[in-house]
Amino acid sequence: MADGSDRPHGGFIVRALDRAHVTPNAITLFGFVGVCVSGGLIIAEQWVPAALVFIAFGLFDPLDGHLARYQGTVSTFGAFLDSFLDRAAEAVIFGAVAVTFARDGNELGVVACFGAMAGSFLVSYARARAEGLGVSGGSGGLMGRPERLVLLGGGLFLGGVGSVLEVTVGVIAVLALLTAVERVLIVRRGAPPPSTAGGG
- Tell me which residues are annotated as active site: 86
Handedness of CA 174, 175, 180, 181 (dihedral sign): positive
Helices and strands (H, E) in the chain, number of each type: 8, 0
Exposure string (b/e) for 122-148, b if CB count within 10 Å is 16 or more? bbbebbeebeeeebebbbbbebbbebb
Q: For the chain, report the end-to-end CA distance as a whole number of angstroms.
A: 54
Q: Please answer whether residues 95 and 117 qualify as being in contact, where contact means their C-beta atoms are separated by less than 8 angstroms.
A: yes
Q: Please answer whether residues 151 and 171 qualify as being in contact, where contact means their C-beta atoms are separated by less than 8 angstroms.
A: yes
